[in-house]
Amino acid sequence: MSFLISNFLKIRKKTSELVSKLEPEDMIVQSNDFVSPIKWHLGHTTWFFENFILQKKKNYKKFDNSFNYIFNSYYNGVGIYNPKEKRGTINRPLLNHVIKYRKYVEQNIIDLLGEKNLASKFKFLIELGINHEQQHQELILMDILNNFFNNPLKPAYLKSKKNKKKNHSQVLWKNKTKTLFNFGVNSSLFHYDNESPSNSMEIAPFELNIDFVSNNEWLEFIDNDGYNRPELWLSDGWDFIKKNDIKKPLYWFDKNFKFSFFGVKKIDKSEPVSNISFYEADAYCRFKKKRLPTEFEIEYFLTQNIKDGNLLENGNFKQITINNKNATENSYGNLWCWTSSNYLPYSGYKPFREKLSEYNQKFMCNQFVLKGGSYATPKNHIRSTYRNFYYPSDRWQFSGLRLASDLK
C-alpha cells in the first residue's frame, strides 16, 4: 500500500500548492451561487475521506461534529447540509482550523493504510477520495478565476510569463470507415460508475478538427452578428443569452481584452476560445454548417492518440495554440470539449453502492457530456472514458469546442 500512501500525500500536497498563492481573505469569497469558497473546498475534500472512510473505522474520533453540516456538498443520505449558495457565509471556522482538520484526517488515513486488513478493505474508497480531490483541484482553479474576475480590482492569481507565439491551424482527423467501437470501461482499474459498463456501437465515418475553435474564429462569429441571429440558436439557448445579455464568452471584456489567471490580458487570437456554454458552442457549429461531435466520437478519437496534451502538470494555466507540428500530441487537455451527447447512464449501469450512489447518478438529467480534460486537469486523472458533465448554460468551466462533420 506504499504506492497508495504516496499517491494520497502527493494529491493532498498538490491541493495545498494550488492555494498557497492565496491569502486567507481570498479563501472565503463566493462570487456566484455556482462557485464555492476555496476554504470550503479544503474542508469538503477532507470531509469526504473522514465521512466515507474514517468513520467506518472502530474508535475513530471525529475532528469537529459541526463539519458534517458545513462540508457535506449534496449527499442527502448523509444528512442535512448548508445550502451551496450560502457557503460564502462560513467565515468560521477559521482557515487555520480547517488546515488542522486536513492534517488530522491525513494522519488518520496514513495510519489506516498502515494496517493491512483495513488498507485492503478501504482501497477503493481511498482511490475514490483521491480522484474526488483531483476533481476539486480543477474546481478550485475555476472558482479562483471567477472570484478574482468579480473583484473590481481584477487581481492576478499568477505572474505573467512570456509564451512563444504559434500560428493556429485547423488539423483534420478522419475516421474513414464504419467502426464497431467498444466505449466505456471494462477493467478493474479505477473508474467512476458513470464510465461503465462497456458497450458497443457502430461509429459512422466522420471528421474532426483536432484543434479547438480559436478566439479569432469566435470574433468572426461576433462580427457576423452571431449573438443576434435567432436562426443559429436553440430556443432555450436564445432565451438564455437574451435574458442574461450574453454577447461574448465569459471573461471577455470586449474584442481586445479578457481576464485570466494572469489578470487582464490582451486576447491572443490564435488561442482556443474558452468558457463558452453548450448553447454558444451549438450556435457556432450551426454558423459554420458543422456539428458538435458525440461523446463516443471524441472517446474513439482519444483512444487513437497518445495520452498527452496541455494538462495541469504543464503549468500553463491557460489554453495553448495547436498547429500542424503538435496536433496529435495535444489530443487531451487544453479545454473540455463540448459534445452533443446528453449525460445519461449506459445500458447496464450500476451506481456506486449505498450513500455514494449520489456521486453521479442523480445528475443524469438535463446535462451534456464534455470529454478530454483541460489545462487544469491532472494527467493521471483523465482518460478516454472520462465523462465530465455540465448544464448547457454553464460557462465557468474550462470548456471549448471542436467542429465535427459527417463523411459520406
Strands 332-333 and 309-310: parallel
Backbone φ, ψ for residue 4 (5° rounding): -65, -40
CB neighbours of residue 82 within 10 Å:
15
Q: What's the rounded mean pLDDT across residues 81-99? A: 97
Check if the beta carbon of residue 156 is closer than 8 Å to that of residue 183. Answer: no
pTM higher than the cut 0.85: yes
DSSP output for 240-298: HHHHTT--S-TTB-SSSEEEETTEEEE--TTSBP-S--HHHHHHHHHHTT-BPPPHHHH
Quick: pLDDT tens for 188-228: 899 999 999 999 999 999 999 999 999 999 999 999 999 99
CA angle 61, 192, 311 (to 5 degrees): 100
Q: What's the rounded mean pLDDT across residues 255-276? A: 97
Cis peptide before 205 (omega within 30 of 0): no
Pairwise CA distance, residues 64 & 203, whole Å: 52
Q: What's the rounded mean pLDDT across residues 29-53? A: 98
- CB neighbours of 19 closer than 8 A, spacing ≥ 6? 27, 38, 42, 140
Confidence (pLDDT) at 398: 98
Cell numbers describing residue 225: 452578428
Burial of 316 (0-12, 13-18, 19+ CB in 10 A): middle
CA angle 368, 360, 35 (to 5 degrees): 70
Of the ranges 186-190, 293-297, 358-362, 369-373, which one carries the lowest mean pLDDT score?
Answer: 186-190
Residue with cell 474514517: 54
Quick: pLDDT tens for 139-176: 999 999 999 999 999 999 999 877 666 666 678 889 98
CA angle 359, 364, 368 (to 5 degrees): 115
Confidence (pLDDT) at 325: 59
Domains in the chain, start-ordered, CATH in brackets?
2-149 (1.20.120), 172-406 (3.90.1580.10)
358 pLDDT band (50/70/90 cuts)? Answer: very high
Backbone φ, ψ for residue 349 (5° rounding): -60, 135
328 pLDDT band (50/70/90 cuts)? Answer: low
Q: What's the rounded mean pLDDT across residues 102-117? A: 93
Cell numbers describing residue 403: 467542429
- CB neighbours of 23 closer than 8 A, spacing ≥ 6? none
Residue 120 to residues 193, 373, 380, Cα–Cα distance (Å): 20, 30, 22
Q: Which amino acid is at 243?
A: K
Confidence (pLDDT) at 312: 97
pLDDT at 266 over 70: yes
Pairwise CA distance, residues 84 & 286, whole Å: 35
Pairwise CA distance, residues 279 & 242, whole Å: 12
Check if the beta carbon of residue 263 is closer than 8 Å to that of residue 155. Answer: yes
Of the ranges 139-148, 228-237, 298-307, which one carries the lowest mean pLDDT score?
Answer: 298-307
CA 348 to chain centre: 25
pLDDT at 3 over 90: no
Q: Which amino acid is at 282?
A: D
Confidence (pLDDT) at 204: 96
Confidence (pLDDT) at 160: 86
Pairwise CA distance, residues 14 & 223, whole Å: 42
pLDDT at 375 over 90: yes
